[in-house]
Structure 1
Amino acid sequence: MKTIHTNHNLTDMYNHPDVALAIGFFDGLHLGHMSVINTMKEIAEEKELAKAVMTFDPHPSVVLNPEKKRTDYLTPLDEKRRLLEAIGIDYLFVVSFTSKFAQMAEEDFIRDYLTNNHVKEVVAGFDFTYGKFGKGNMMKLEADKQGFNVTAVAKQELNTAKIATTHIRNALIEGHVNEANAQLGRPYKISGLVVQGEKRGRTIGFPTANVAPDEAYVLPKLGVYAVTLKRTGSDQLLKGVCNIGYKPTFHDPAVSAVSIEVHIFDFAESIYGERVEVFWHEFIRPEQKFSGIDALIAQIKQDKESAEQLLADISLD
């Protein structure tokens, strides 16, 4: 997959064959987003066009609504890029969402980012908007199109609820991992590096991999989770129990940073410096402060047993 960062240097963007294009911010690449992208892929294959996705960076709220700006994501840009490449997208256009871009006239967006960009098919969600003040919508795009066809994908629902990034974010923040995963269509994932930690876990019989996210991910509710983990370059799925939080038994939350520590079952290798992916499956309990090491160890044993039961049906193949 070729990634093209526009930075509004549009001449560089145009160096590619005719494409079918899915447009949206696509944070999460959830089931609703995938309906748009899969529709684009079907049209591309039928019309023998390259498959392309256009997204924006940063989130438009950074420019349009600073008081409620979104700076953490379900799928930060690099994560989004990896997921799109894995499903066979040929081109990813990353449009810089700046104040200048936000003021662009609707007809200029159509001309510069669609018609001149060799776009022959445009696919987007029914609620996609563009141009200054977001006045352009899918009906107007159909009316004003220049050299391309337009397909609007209807609202996607799960159990009568709209599938939406906001719902998924809220579900994760509240610890409702199952609800978030159902709308994502897969377990929520955070990628990062295994870094040196305090190494306290190994002294109490539960060594952990301290995972430092490499992008600004939405963090689930603080607490203990049943998780799986993959190492870079390996398809092997490892099961574990994860604590995300401040470790209040040892630290003052007011002055400590959040850490993600995974105890991997039946695993003794050193993986410092490796990039890993942590998949979140089930919330077990909130983070809590214990009276001492013995109480902590007893609870960790219970958490491990709970995680083993919750992950029992997940295949390691």
Structure 2
Amino acid sequence: MEVIRLQYPNEFKVNEDEQIAVALGFFDGLHIGHQEVINTMIEIAEKKGLKKSVLTFDPHPSVVLSQKQQRTTYITPLPVKEKMLEEYGIDYLFVVNFSSEFAQLSPDTFVKDYLIGSNVKEVIAGFDFSYGYMGKGSVATLEQYSEFNITSIVQKEDDGEKISTTRIRELLSEDKLEEANRLLGRSYSIEGFVVQGEKRGRTIGFPTANIEPSYKYFLPSLGVYAVTLTIGSDPTVYKGVASIGVKPTFHENHKVTIEVHIIDYDRTIYGETVTVYWEHFIRHELKFDGLDALIEAIQEDKDKAIELLKDK
């Protein structure tokens, strides 16, 4: 997959001999609704002998367009999104820098400079895709162009509610991890590297790996989770119990950290890259009255995690 980063004004031109099918969207999370858009694009492209492509944006448009609700953390940060799209067999990933200048483009200019100018013959987008200044462009306006065909993907719902990145972020914040994973079509994951911590866990019999996320991830709610994880390029899946929190038993107003106790594992892995898969929510973060209460709770969390992960 070739990643092509586009600025405004767009000066990129594809090979004149190549005709392209493109899926349009921000695609944070690549949830099951996004997957339908991309799989439809792939099906059309293969049927018509077109190059398969995705056009997305970076950063999230809210960074430019909204003062109050800027989205600066992601379910799938751009490098993760790139890896996932490559697994689809995409030929081109177009990443458009969503800048203040780009946000001022008329819908027609966007279409002519970024779609028609790139020899796009098939456009696939969700029913609510918008583009151009003030979001005035829509699927309906795309249908007015004769240079390409437009395929609109109808709203995908779960229990009568639209499947969306916003909904999944809400679920992750509300301790509804299993539901979020169902809408994602996979377990939510965070990639990071293992850093030195306070090493308090090993003194109470539960050594932990302190995980520094590699990118600006949206974090699930503070609490304790049953997780699986992989280490480096080793495909072995390990089981663990993880906490996201501020360690209130020991600190006040401390920064949020991610710690994972890997079950039946005793190697030192500082500096290793790990991917943590968030499988089940166990409980909220609590402040305990002393070490004995904390140790008892951690053992209960570990036992619960083993039970929840028995089929993993």
TM superposition score category, shorter chain reference: over 0.9
**Superposed counterparts of 1:86-125, under 5 Å:** 86-125=87-126
Distance 1:109 1:9 in 2: 10
**Which residue does 1:258 correspond to in 2?**
256
Judge which range, 145-154 or 37-46, deviates more. Answer: 145-154
Q: Using the TM superposition, give the Cα deviation of residue 12 of structure 1 relative to its aligned residue in structure 2, in angstroms.
A: 3.4
**2:293 aligned to 295, 305, 309, which one?**
295
Distance 1:9 1:266 in 2: 55
Q: Using the TM superposition, give the Cα deviation of residue 260 of structure 1 relative to its aligned residue in structure 2, in angstroms.
A: 0.4
Distance 2:249 2:205 in 1: 17
**Which residue does 1:311 correspond to in 2?**
309
**Superposed counterparts of 1:164-243, under 5 Å:** 164-243=164-243
Q: Using the TM superposition, give the Cα deviation of residue 264 of structure 1 relative to its aligned residue in structure 2, in angstroms.
A: 0.6
Distance 2:295 2:114 in 1: 57
Judge which range, 130-139 or 12-21, deviates more. Answer: 12-21
Contact 2:8 2:101 survives alignment (8 Å): no
**Which residue does 1:21 correspond to in 2?**
22
Contact 1:110 1:146 survives alignment (8 Å): no
Q: Using the TM superposition, give the Cα deviation of residue 224 of structure 1 relative to its aligned residue in structure 2, in angstroms.
A: 0.2
Amino acid at match of 1:294: D
Contact 1:192 1:211 survives alignment (8 Å): yes
Tell me the matched-pair count: 311
Contact 1:224 1:285 survives alignment (8 Å): yes
| Structure 2 unaligned spans of 5+ | none
Deviations 1:247-273 (A, max 9, x none): 111111x2x111000001111112111
Amino acid at match of 1:176: K
Contact 2:193 2:214 survives alignment (8 Å): yes
Distance 2:243 2:167 in 1: 23
Q: Using the TM superposition, give the Cα deviation of residue 11 of structure 1 relative to its aligned residue in structure 2, in angstroms.
A: 2.6
**Which residue does 2:50 correspond to in 1?**
49
Q: Check 1:138–1:84 CA distance in 2 against 1; reply closer, same or farther (3 A cut).
A: same
Q: Does 1:142 align with 2:140?
A: no
Q: Using the TM superposition, give the Cα deviation of residue 173 of structure 1 relative to its aligned residue in structure 2, in angstroms.
A: 0.9
Secondary structure in 2 matching 1:116: helix
Secondary structure in 2 matching 1:11: coil
Q: Using the TM superposition, give the Cα deviation of residue 18 of structure 1 relative to its aligned residue in structure 2, in angstroms.
A: 2.1
**Which residue does 1:154 correspond to in 2?**
154
Amino acid at match of 1:223: G
Secondary structure in 2 matching 1:79: helix
Contact 1:6 1:13 survives alignment (8 Å): no
- Runs (4 or more) in structure 1 with deviation over 4 Å come to none
Secondary structure in 1 matching 2:307: helix
Q: Does 1:11 align with 2:16?
A: no
Aligned-residue CA RMSD (Å): 1.2
Percent identity of paired positions between Structure 1 and Structure 2: 55
Deviations 1:46-103 (A, max 9, x none): 1111211111111111111121111111111111111111221121111011111111
Distance 2:20 2:26 in 1: 18
Q: Using the TM superposition, give the Cα deviation of residue 232 of structure 1 relative to its aligned residue in structure 2, in angstroms.
A: 2.3
Amino acid at match of 1:310: L
Q: Using the TM superposition, give the Cα deviation of residue 10 of structure 1 relative to its aligned residue in structure 2, in angstroms.
A: 2.5
Normalised to the residue count of structure 2, the TM-score between the two structures is 0.97
Q: Using the TM superposition, give the Cα deviation of residue 160 of structure 1 relative to its aligned residue in structure 2, in angstroms.
A: 2.1
Distance 2:231 2:162 in 1: 34
Q: Does 1:70 align with 2:71?
A: yes
